[in-house]
Amino acid sequence: MICQLDKKRIEDLETTNILTQTPFWGRIKRNQGLLPLGFEMTVSEDLLYEEADARLKTEDDLLVFTKYIDKNTCYAYVPYGPKLEPSFENQGLFLEHLSEVIKPHLPQQCMFIRYDLMWENQWSREEQYFDDSGNWMGAPDSKTQEFRLNFKTTNWCLKKSVGDILPKNTIFLDLNLTERELFRNMRYNTRYNVQKGFKNGISIKEYGLEYISEWYKLYADTAIRHGMALQNEEFFSNIFTNQDNNKKGVTVKLLMAERNGEFLSSMFLLLSKKRGTYLYGASTSLKNNLMASYALQWESIRISKQWECTEYDMFGTAPNLKKNHPLHGVHIYKKGFGGNLYHRMGCWDYPYNKQFYEAYRLQELKN
């Protein structure tokens, strides 16, 4: 079994559907204080799949960040990576090999590596984790998850993180469908609201960086209304100024829905290779009856399709329809546009310094 890493310039990484594994994301996070590292992986296929031919090799890029906790300690973080997805039985084995191979490339004071896995959650395929209404109840407790993922590993030290960073559940729309098919696949109420938005005189336009303050007003209104942590305006300007703005890279579109010169709803649509991602959305707390956010979302889907994307990522939702989930309303809104619910594996840690890791984990539990 082979897992080899060669350093690669961030700007030389191939753009991918996975937005968080692109040079664009490396630039974004560098400006936020994280140190990006780029690698080219060469992996023998027997490390990825059972009974595969060890002579066959697969190559892929990997973007890793190091984040300092203080001047003497840091950890590594892999957002929605690695992109290579092994069979369920080999996932832990692959992560263990990769973690050991990457260790010499990390700072000596790196205490652990955290993978924010976008791989499909193993337990979302098993009937016993669904209720009678077809709602996925989630993965089992951490100990049970760890027991399965560490299967076939040597060190048996992969740990489920205390929490997850990037969205663990999302909805994907298949943009290979025609616009007519996409529109027909919506729930009746969603389809009605989209049509109502346009009948109410909602227009959708794309704006540049000079309108970032208008976006921020809607965003702040939304964040305060829902009790979300508030980013500053520079955070969003940074997204704009670091885009590649071409089909070989990442393009950022600030879309705003307005009526009679008044901005009612807005979003950041990011186009990366063959995927459109609804990264951030915002709306005014007033005039919800005009259905601006429904018209805006449909136009964003249409733009992604025109850009020749084959899929659309709603980027974050509840795992099921249970009303007590804090994202229940978000789920109803996003699922109304059709698409398939997808459950990711979430964050997993591989400690290099177990004593420090346990202390840091305890601190995370307290927070």
Give 366's pLDDT tier (boundaries 50, 70, 90): confident
Supply angle C-alpha 57, 92, 111, rounded to 5: 105
So what's the pLDDT on residue 226?
78
Q: Indicate whether 352 pLDDT > 80.
A: yes
Fold: same for 3-167+344-366 and 177-309? yes
Give 239's pLDDT tier (boundaries 50, 70, 90): very high
Q: Can you tell me which residue has the tokens 């020749």?
A: 308
pLDDT tens digit sequence for 18-47: 999 999 999 999 999 999 999 999 999 999
Q: CB–CB of 133/322 below 8 Å?
A: no
Report which of 292, 176, 282 is spatially closest to residue 222, judged by C-alpha positions. Answer: 282
So what's the pLDDT on residue 320?
85
Mean pLDDT value of segment 313-324: 88
So what's the pLDDT on residue 154?
95
Give 253's pLDDT tier (boundaries 50, 70, 90): very high
For the chain, the 3-state helix, strand and coil shares in percent, each to the nearest 5, are: 35, 30, 35
So what's the pLDDT on residue 40?
97
177-309: CATH class: alpha beta
Give the C-alpha separation, 76 to 67, whole Å.
Answer: 6
Q: Following DSSP, what letter does each residue of 107-146 receive, concatenated?
A: -TTEEEEEEEEEEEPGGGG-GGGB-TTS-B-----HHHHH
The number of residues in the chain equals 367
The DSSP symbol for 201 reads: T
- 3-167+344-366 adopts what CATH topology? Aminopeptidase (3.40.630)
Q: Indicate whether 236 pLDDT > 80.
A: yes
Give the C-alpha separation, 315 to 153, whole Å.
Answer: 32
So what's the pLDDT on residue 367?
77
Q: Can you tell me which residue has the tokens 């919506």?
A: 186
pLDDT tens digit sequence for 277-300: 999 999 998 777 789 999 999 999
The DSSP symbol for 154 reads: S
Report which of 43, 39, 44, 34 is spatially closest to residue 8, judged by C-alpha positions. Answer: 39
Mean pLDDT value of segment 6-11: 97
Q: Indicate whether 325 pLDDT > 90.
A: no
Alpha carbon 313 to its chain centroid, in Å, reads 9
Q: Indicate whether 209 pLDDT > 90.
A: yes
Q: Indicate whether 69 pLDDT > 80.
A: yes
Q: Of 133-137, 179-183, 255-259, which range is least confident?
A: 133-137
Where are the chain's structural domains? Answer: 3-167+344-366, 177-309
Report which of 247, 252, 255, 277 is spatially closest to residue 173, judged by C-alpha positions. Answer: 277
CA distances to 121, 187, 217 from 170, in Å: 12, 17, 26
Q: Which residues pair with 74 in a beta bridge?
A: 68, 110
Q: Indicate whether 265 pLDDT > 80.
A: yes
- Per DSSP, the three-state class of 71 is coil
So what's the pLDDT on residue 190?
97
Burial label for 85, CB within 10 Å (0-12, 13-18, 19+), is middle
Give the C-alpha separation, 35 to 247, whole Å.
Answer: 26
Q: CB–CB of 58/66 below 8 Å?
A: no
- Compute the mean pLDDT over every residue in the chain, rounded to the nearest whole number: 94
Q: Which residue has the higher pLDDT, 87 or 132?
A: 87
Name residues whose C-beta falls within 8 Å of residue 89's C-beta, 6 or more positions apart in sequence: 50, 151, 152
> The whole model's pTM is what?
0.94
Q: Indicate whether 354 pLDDT > 90.
A: yes
Name residues whose C-beta falls within 8 Å of residue 141's C-beta, 6 or more positions apart in sequence: none
